[in-house]
Amino acid sequence: MGKNALIIGASGDIGAAISKKLAGNGWQLILHFNKNKQAMETNRMSLARESILMEIQADLSDQSGMSHLLDQLVFPVDAIIFAGGNAHYGMFQYTDEHVMDAMLALHVKAPWVITKHILPLMIREQRGRIIFITSIWGESGAGNEVIYSSVKGAQNSFVKALAKETGSSGITVNAVSPGFIDTKMNQHLSEEERAKIIQDIPANRAGTSDDVANTVSFLMNDQSDYVHGEIIHVSGGWRP
């Protein structure tokens, strides 16, 4: 198959690890980011210049940002990895509707719109990879993270449903569902809270961004052609 990959959220810890892994595997990268320009520059420095086709800055939580991203796509896309997004912490009853709208747009509508735009070419070529980085909370749910759990659950459902439409077209659709990963998203936790979570993980450690990237690398490989419509846990056996 072709070797152009669009990575949504390439400036995040997991997105950066995926970028580095895929570049090492010979993929040409289209890197999306939003606010974290400094992290994007750090990511760029870790990659061979010839592995980067282009970078696109866009806020995918609103329609203009989605349109800007699609307008900038001048290269064919053979694979999409949705690794971006934000968590939201707080009691559901106190959550503002503007937060709800932004989370839905970023985690649900933007992937819909981007996939809808790219899918026809994949179908014509009879090949492609679509991969979501979801979350263990999308299956089990988390108190104080109701909105985040909801949108990640929607991503899991989208993966399972779209896989049934694309299977005959040579396009695989899968998700990687991380558990407790040592990224900036979890920096709000105290050492005591971290230790308590790790105590409940059978692997007895937090996961790393590389653990997630390694699983994505497998799904991008031709050896994974028969893996389709799956939600793959990268959690060290943790089931909260």
Give tens-digit pLDDT for 174-217.
Answer: 999 999 999 877 777 788 889 899 999 999 999 999 999 999 99
CATH 3.40.50.720 for domain 4-234, yes or no, is yes
> Using 50, 70 and 90 to split pLDDT, how confident is the model at 89?
confident
Q: Please report, for the chain, the start and end positions of each structural domain, with discontinuous segments joined by +.
A: 4-234
Distance, CA of 29 to CA of 20 (rounded, Å):
10
- Which residues carry out catalysis? 148
User: CA 202 to CA 196: how far, in whole Å?
Assistant: 12
**What is the pLDDT of the chain when averaged over all its residues?**
94
The tokens for 101 are 């709208």
Q: What is the 3-state secondary structure (H, E, C) of 91-111?
A: CHHHCCHHHHHHHHHHHHHHH
Mean pLDDT of 130-151: 93
- What is the pLDDT averaged over residues 126-155? 94
pLDDT at 1: 58
User: Residue 79: which residues within 8 A CB-CB, separation 6 or more?
Assistant: 1, 4, 5, 6, 27, 128, 129, 130, 131, 220
